[in-house]
Chain A
Amino acid sequence: MATFQVFAFFKGALGDGSVDLDTQAIWAYLSNSQPDKDNAKYKSQVTEIGAGNGYTAGGQALTSVTWTQQAGSPQGIWVFDSADFSWTASGGSIGPAQYVVVYAKSVSLSPSDFLIGYVDYGTPFTITDGNSLNVTVSNGFFELSGG
């Protein structure tokens, strides 16, 4: 398992309204470029892999996205979550890639798609024909707590 890395600018976006986790479409895409966690702000700043063989440009929309307060004690822990998702190669390979990058889809041309965070596989991988990359979000992407 790898820890979801949150982009620095996204923390600001939560406060100034650039990203609304309740209403915006949340997407994920594959990249083979090391994301600049401290300085990257928009999707265009972390290169996406090429489309084809089961991979669509832009990645895929995540489903069952929630931004909710975690049940139980202690109170005040908010969790950003989605359903598990995957990419399956068909007719050829997908990749190489190393990172799954999550972003908030822009509702207009400006501002651009806002980066939220990413997961590092640890080494470049290729999804070969008929195989899949399975992303299991068993406990959410991140939490906001404390206070």
Chain B
Amino acid sequence: MGGLRIRLGAAPPPSPIALPISRQLVGVNGRPITAARTLAVARATTPLVGRAVTLALSGTFTEDFTAVASANPVDTNTWLAGGSTGGSWNNCRSINGSGLFGSANVTTTDDCLAVLKSSVQAMGNNQYVEAVIQRTTNYFPTGNNHEVEVLTRFNLSSGDAHGYECIFGLTPTQAYIAFVKWLGSLGSYQAIWDPGAGSITPLVTGDIVRVEISGNAAKVYINSVKVGPTGAANSGIGTGGSANDIDLTKLYLDNQSNLSVWSSGQPGHGFWPQSGATLTSYGFKSTTMGSLP
């Protein structure tokens, strides 16, 4: 009967292959494999990055023009003058007991300008002007317009006036508001917001206008009520909650525009009294200027 046969007591045969002393890896073809390990080091990136730090000048500049000595141009220790400094424009004058006014009727865009000297109070790039209106009761210019102006980020030197102007103007029958970018040379400017005649109620003595400029936007307030555009490209006009900021990168009604923005300068005041305007009938009683965060 066939089956499993077991040989008991038989010694195993000797191995014909000598065992290696060290452990060896063998490939499929029987060749030894050398196990080399590599570690590639890639440069770590550890950025050292500056963080935002705020530099802000404290203090505001306040001038009660009714208490300033009568002078044309107004106190040159404090103000740069459109005529004396800029050459191509006119000066502002102070009348003691009354206020700050234009010194001459303009012929073109040779506005009367007074820009606060940085040596008196340097303002941050974000800044505000808050000024009190002086207007003879029921005054309107005859035949042409008369504007009082708040200047921000303004720079004035010989032959160069650039920055931003907020206009509070009078026609012979109405009032208007506008915001303009001055480009430098006489007559060179761009309208940023210009809602036209009748866009505001005529200002009266004691009204407070405030203009803030911060980054690429400006805000305007009349007696603490915000006034601004309502639509794209600074179109329309609204008050309070319906008023938007003024977009300094847009030409009025031109949504395709992409204006560069003046980033620095000083605050100031200006006037545009055309022929038929009475210089001392529309001006400023006082002003306060300061930096914003």
Show the binding face of A for B, using Cβ within 8 Å. Answer: 1-6, 11, 14, 79, 86, 93, 95-96, 100, 117, 119, 121-128, 130-147
**What 7 pairs across the A-B complex have the smallest Cβ distances?**
A131-B59, A125-B122, A4-B50, A136-B54, A132-B58, A1-B52, A123-B264
Residues 250-264 of B at the A interface (beta carbon under 8 Å): 263-264
CB <8 Å contact, B122 and A124 = yes
Name the A residues within 8 Å of B125 (CB-CB): 122-123
Contact residues in A for B49 (Cβ distance below 8 Å): 142-143, 145
Q: Tell me the number of A-to-B contacts counted with CB atoms below 8 Å.
A: 111
Complex interface: chain A residues within 8 A of B48 (CB):
6, 11, 14, 142-144
Does B34 count as interface, using CB distance less than 8 angstroms?
Answer: no
Main secondary structure of the interface of B (DSSP, over half): loop
15 A-B residue pairs with Cβ-Cβ distance under 8 Å, sorted by A, are A2-B54, A6-B48, A96-B118, A123-B125, A124-B118, A124-B122, A125-B118, A127-B57, A128-B59, A130-B59, A131-B59, A133-B55, A134-B58, A141-B50, A146-B47
Number of residues on chain B facing chain A (CB within 8 A) = 26
Output the least CB separation between B174 and chain A (Å): 38
Chain A at the B interface: SS class: strand
Q: Does B22 contact A (CB under 8 A)?
A: no
Give B54-68 as 1s and 0s: 1 = Cβ < 8 Å from A's Cβ atoms. 111111000000000
Identify which of B44, B51, B55, B264 contacts A140 (C-beta below 8 A).
B51
Contact call A144/B47, Cβ cutoff below 8 A: yes
The chain B residues found within 8 Å of chain A, CB to CB, are 44-59, 118-122, 124-125, 263-265
Residue of B whose beta carbon sits closest to that of A127: B57
Q: Determine if A100 and B47 form an interchain contact, defined as CB atoms under 8 angstroms apart.
A: no
Q: CA of A144 to CA of B270 in the docked complex: distance in angstroms? A: 49
Establish whether residues A128 and B121, one from each chain, have CB atoms under 8 Å apart when the complex forms.
yes
Looking at the assembled complex, report how far the CB atom of A63 sits from the nearest CB atom of chain B, in whole angstroms: 16
Choose from B45, B57, B265 the contact partner of A146 (Cβ within 8 Å): B45
**Are A133 and B51 interface neighbours, CB within 8 A?**
no
Residue of B nearest to A142 (CB): B50
